Amino acid sequence: MYLLDIRNLSIEMTSPKGKRVKILDKVNLRVHAGEIHSVVGESGSGKSLLAKAILGFINPRWTVTADRLWWNGKDLLSLTPKQRRQVSGRDMAMIFQNPNSYLDPNSTVGEQLAEAIPAGDVRGTFLRRRVDRRTRVKRLLHRVGVRDHEGIMESYPFELSEGIAQKVSIAMAVAHRPKLLIADEPTTAMESSTRGQIYKLLARLSYLQDMSVLLITQDIGSIIPESQHVTMLYCGQLMESGPKDAILNNPRHPYTDSMIRMSMQRLDDLPHKSRLPTLPGSIPTLEHMPIGCRLGPRCPKARKECVQVPRVSKHEQHSFHCHFPLAEDDS
Amino acid sequence: MSPLLEVKNLSKNYTHKAHFLPGKQVSALSDISFTLARGEILAIMGETSSGKSTLAKIVAGVETPSSGDIWVNGQRLEKHNYRQRCQVIRMVFQDSDASLNRQLTIGEQLDEPLRFNTDLVATERRRRIREVLQRVGLLAEHAEFFPHMLATGQKQRVAIARAILLEPQIVVADEALAALDPSVRAQIINLLLDLQQDMGISYIFVSHSAEIVKHIADKILVLQHGKIVEFKETAALFDAPTDDYIERLLVTSGHIKQQVDKYAKEQ
């Protein structure tokens, strides 16, 4: 059974000009327990919205429809708001891009971490609870790879480097042992060495605690090396989804292919200062979404059939939405 | 011949204000000297709070140095002579949303630097704006648009148009590529390289992306705690990083490349 099973999730909103726009258009996503799943999409692709829909932070003016939005076999859409909040509070957690902007600047890291520990976990007398809480905070910090726990607990968020701050926020997120951790571009503004550390930490936590990680990122070049599945989104439509190796070695969708070729890591193969491969045009705004396949106007392989939304093609676990997919490798 | 840009013994101190006592001095940059030749790309790298943005701002004239000089073409840049500075050095910021005025059309915003720094009449200015918009890959009609009508990549193009409008010799880009989507980022890199080829502009790039720096920069300046640790040709530095700090900055995460390469070998 899947931990999270989403079928044909659509979110519709009314644009400022009164037009109904689908910001997410029939997206499928399946996450197994303990799996690392990367969602890749450029800005405006609805990747953060997908995370919000899973957690239930949805603006009441938007309409959410789904054939299936199942969490552990339970239908999330049929729950009352209170039950929904309980499920997301107990089983899910989220970390964001800029840790310093959502850690509380007025209290020390130790105090904030102590707050994050679930109340039911510490029992006994007043003093006993205090000591217990402190040792738990210490253990949490060790678990996320912070060695100098004394120093970090006493410091305020502005004193931390971005890597440590992100580790602290991960510690807060995993304090109640969630089953799913949603990481919304956790490393976008970081140096590559810090990014490597954060990714190793996420992979280790996922492995040790059997926690699923849904990593949301802009660039296919910055997915976690350990991730098992990759899903590509563009302008709210699902482009391609499948096991990481299949996506990277044999992309069937032109969008995935060009994203891989544009990835900064492939720059080494090009001569110094040469021009980079790129997609023409720019990402359409909400009011001007093309009909059919939304990649259409920018796609190198587009033909007149592309004004229809393509149907899903499946090859084992690898699925893609394209009228003219790239050739499959024979090997 | 003198180099295009020469920075000599530049330093910057900030003073923490105290009520009665003399304030505490914090040194953001100390004793920075480097040169930049025509048509070269210099990358400034360093960890957070190593002073790389401060250096870029001082070179562009946003902040004044505590001591030291900047020379361009053998001419010393005076502290408050913005007209002189604008003609040779311009800057592109990270967030194009914040650096464009949302109450003015693109045309009005591009008109301002021309009005303040040149003696052109209105028709000539309009012609210049049209040309520059086309040069950065937009249409002349975009002059009538307001910033919110454009996509992020197009806004960054407008910011670049504003920077090259006065035909400067140096453009300072402070993390101008960091916030962009991959497809847009590749387009902007191509645009910057094309502009360099056509107009012979030198760039000073502040960046933390080792991949981009390796691809476009000719020289790298590495800063740590406001001091220069290394100033060297890109290829030489990537081949043999001289200490741990530099090595850590230059890490390129290569798992995609490795995987694609491995797969290609198997074929």
Q: Can you tell me the mean pLDDT for B206-225?
A: 86
Q: Please write the tens of the pLDDT for every residue from A170-197.
A: 999 988 889 999 998 888 777 777 788 8
Mark whether A109 and A93 lie in a shared domain.
no
Inter-chain contact A219–B182, Cβ cutoff 8 Å? Answer: yes
Percent of chain A with pLDDT over 90: 6
pLDDT of residue A264: 63
Tokens of A8: 């044909």
DSSP run (H or E) holding B109: helix B106-117
A328 in a domain, yes or no?
Answer: no
- Examine the domain organization and report whether A138 and A237 are in the same domain: no
Residues A130 and A29 reside in one and the same domain? no
Amino acid code (one letter) for A51: A
Query: Are A31 and A130 members of one domain?
Result: no
Residues A173 and A37 in one domain: yes
Looking at the structure, tell me whether residues A92 and A154 fall in a common domain.
Answer: no
> Which tens digit of pLDDT belongs to each residue from A121-164?
788 888 888 888 889 899 889 888 888 888 888 889 888 888 88
Q: Tokens 């190796």 map to which residue?
A: A245
Residue among B151, B208, B214 minimizing CB distance to A267 = B214
SS3 letters for B45-100?
Answer: EECCCCCHHHHHHHHHCCCCCCEEEEEECCEECCCCCHHHHHHHEEEECCCHHHHC
What's the CA gap between A279 and B183, in Å, rounded?
6
Range of the domain at A153: 104-159
Residues A7 and A124 in one domain: no
A153 and A302 together in one domain: no
Q: What is the mean pLDDT of residues B197-215?
A: 86
A264 close to B (CB below 8 A):
yes
Residue-level pLDDT at B262: 61
Q: Is residue A31 part of a domain?
A: yes
Are residues A119 and A21 located together in one domain of the fold?
no
In a domain, residue A326? The reply is no
Do residues A299 and A293 make contact, with C-beta atoms less than 8 angstroms apart?
yes
Compute the distance between CA of residue A1 and CA of residue A233 in angstroms, rounded to an integer: 24
Average pLDDT of the residues in A219-230: 82
- Tell me whether residues A42 and B181 touch, CB distance under 8 A: yes
The per-residue pLDDT of chain B, averaged, comes to: 84
Confidence grade of residue B244 (pLDDT, cut at 50, 70, 90): confident
Domain B5-245 superfamily per CATH = P-loop containing nucleotide triphosphate hydrolases (3.40.50.300)
Closest listed residue to residue B89, CA positions, set B227, B254, B257, B203: B203
Give the closest residue to A38 by CA, choosing from A185, A231, A179, A195: A231
pLDDT of amino acid A331? 47
B138 to chain A: nearest residue by CA?
A: A281
Q: Are A203 and A263 in a shared domain?
A: yes
For residue B3, name the pLDDT band (cuts at 50, 70, 90): confident
> Are A254 and A64 within 8 A, CB to CB?
no
Q: What is the pLDDT of residues B78-106, one digit of tens each?
A: 877 777 888 888 888 888 888 898 899 99
3-state secondary structure of A92: strand
pLDDT at A330 over 60: no
Half-sphere exposure of B175 (CA within 13 A, CB side): 16
| Total tally of structural domains belonging to chain A | 2
Spatial separation of the C-alpha atoms in residues A87 and A54, rounded to whole Å? 11
Contact B178 A189 (CB under 8 A): yes
Burial label, A45 (beta-carbon count in 10 A; 0-12, 13-18, 19+): buried
Q: A202 and A178 in one domain? A: yes
Q: Let me know whether A84 and A133 are in one domain.
A: no
Instruction: Give SS3 for A140.
Output: helix
Judged by CB atoms closer than 8 Å, whether chains meet at B186 and A260 is answered as: no
